[in-house]
């Protein structure tokens, strides 16, 4: 594919709709179901609205905030996005920030739904390692896939964290086990699987894209 100017940069406010799309698409992992929507018992539209409210709060150190995102722009059009942060970089784990964000925006009924549903599926989630550089909500628009954008985005986050002087041990990310294309892509750029989860609830596939997740890690190369 012939490309014009490509630019990698930190995300800006004007990118928020694309970032929200990235969060939702990563959550859906190439299926038609969003775990957030299923757990909260809401429509995708309602979830999109909730995320836009959350983004106004300017969270850091998790994917629910502008600060965590880097984007690739091609000829002035956003082509890809990816969130990155050092886990517990400000003292709180990202799961806590994520839950606080959800709690502040959605109604008590929706929160109760989330609690009731998530209790059933808690065995699917994996803990993120404190002090690791987390990569999350990777989304590349279809026509820009296969161009190495994933590698560029992760490199950007590595360099950005170093420039900021935030130490981290290795890069870490989570994938759903149905996403074989993503697994291949991460393996190609040096990630190895370190642990898996599995949920055997009869209806896990109605809530999540897959019945399990995989945690991947990549040690920094010499000179990185």
Partner 1 sequence: MKGIIYTFTVIISLGLCSYFWPKEGFQYQGISLQFIRFEELFPQPKQKTNKNSLDGEKIVAEKEKKNYPAYEGDISHKLIQFEDLSEADLDKFIDSLRRKKRDSISSTDFKESVYLINPPYQNASALDPFFDALNEIEQGKDQIYRVNHYGDSQIEGDRMTITLRNLFQKFFSGNGYGFIPFYDVTTPLGYERKLVGSWNHYKVFGGQKHPQKKYGPGGTSFSYNGQGNPEPYQQIQEEKNNPSIHLQLQKSFSEIGIWYGKGKTGSKVYIWSDSIKIAEAQLDDSSQFRMIRIPLQQAVKKIQCYFSGMSPVLYGISLDPKRGIQFDNFGLRGHSGDGIMTLQVESLQLMYQVLNTKLAIIQFGGNITPYLKSEKTMAYMKEVYKNMYRHFKKALPEASVLVLSINDVSRSVNGQYESYPNISDFRYIQRELAIESGCAFFDLYQFMGGHSSIALWNRKNLAAKDGHLTEESRELVSKELFKALMYEYNQYKKRISRQEENK
Partner 2 sequence: MDNKTQLEIIFREVFSAPDLHIHEAMTASEVNQWDSISHLIMISKVEEVFGIKFKLKDLIKLKNVGDLLLLIEEKRKG
Q: Which residues bind partner 1 (CB under 8 A)?
A: 32-33, 37-38, 40-43, 107-110, 113, 116-117, 202-203, 205-207, 211
Q: Which class for 22: exposed (0-12), middle (13-18), buried (19 or more C-beta within 10 A)?
A: buried
Nearer to partner 2, 93 or 190 (CB): 93
* 31 contact partners, CB below 8 Å, separation of at least 6: 178, 209
State the Cα–Cα distance between residues 130 and 141, nearest whole angstrom: 30
Please report whether residue 67 would count as binding partner 2 according to CB under 8 A. Answer: no
* 70 contact partners, CB below 8 Å, separation of at least 6: 8, 9, 10, 11, 81, 82, 83, 84, 153, 156, 157, 160
Please report whether residue 112 would count as binding partner 2 according to CB under 8 A. Answer: yes
Region of residue 131 (left: phi > 0; alpha: psi -120 to 50; beta: else): left
Q: Which does 165 bind (CB under 5 to 8 A by kind): partner 2, partner 1, none?
A: none
Nearer to partner 1, 145 or 201 (CB): 201
Please report whether residue 41 would count as binding partner 2 according to CB under 8 A. Answer: no
- Shortest Cβ 67–partner 2 spacing (Å): 12
Please report whether residue 59 would count as binding partner 2 according to CB under 8 A. Answer: yes
Q: Which does 202 bind (CB under 5 to 8 A by kind): partner 1, partner 2, none?
A: partner 1
Please report whether residue 114 would count as binding partner 2 according to CB under 8 A. Answer: yes
Q: How many Å separate Cα 29 from the centre of its chain?
A: 11
State the Cα–Cα distance between residues 114 and 189, nearest whole angstrom: 35
Q: Give me the residue label for tokens 């517990």.
A: 88
Please report whether residue 96 would count as binding partner 2 according to CB under 8 A. Answer: yes
Tokens for 92, please give them.
């709180």
Nearer to partner 2, 43 or 112 (CB): 112
Would you tell me which residues interact with partner 2 (CB under 8 A)? 54, 57, 59, 91-93, 95-105, 108, 111-112, 114-115, 118-119, 122, 125
């Amino acid at each position: 594919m012939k490309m014009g100017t490509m630019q990698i940069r930190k995300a800006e406010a004007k990118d928020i709709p694309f970032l929200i799309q990235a969060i939702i698409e990563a959550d859906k992992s190439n299926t038609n179901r969003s775990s957030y929507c299923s757990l909260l018992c809401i429509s995708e539209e309602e979830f999109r609205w909730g995320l836009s409210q959350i983004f106004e709060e300017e969270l850091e150190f998790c994917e629910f905030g502008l600060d965590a995102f880097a984007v690739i722009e091609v000829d002035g059009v956003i082509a890809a996005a990816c969130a990155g942060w050092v886990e517990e970089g400000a003292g709180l784990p990202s799961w806590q920030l994520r839950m606080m964000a959800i709690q502040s925006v959605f109604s008590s009924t929706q929160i109760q739904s989330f609690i009731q549903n998530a209790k059933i599926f808690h065995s699917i989630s994996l803990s993120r390692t404190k002090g690791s550089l987390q990569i999350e909500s990777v989304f590349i628009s279809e026509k820009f896939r296969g161009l190495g954008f994933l590698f560029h985005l992760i490199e950007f986050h590595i360099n950005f964290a170093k420039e900021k002087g935030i130490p981290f041990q290795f890069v870490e990310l989570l994938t759903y086990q149905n996403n074989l294309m993503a697994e291949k892509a991460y393996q190609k750029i040096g990630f190895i699987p370190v642990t898996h989860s599995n949920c055997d609830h009869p209806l896990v596939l109605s809530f999540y894209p897959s019945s399990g997740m995989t945690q991947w890690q990549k040690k920094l190369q010499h000179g990185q």
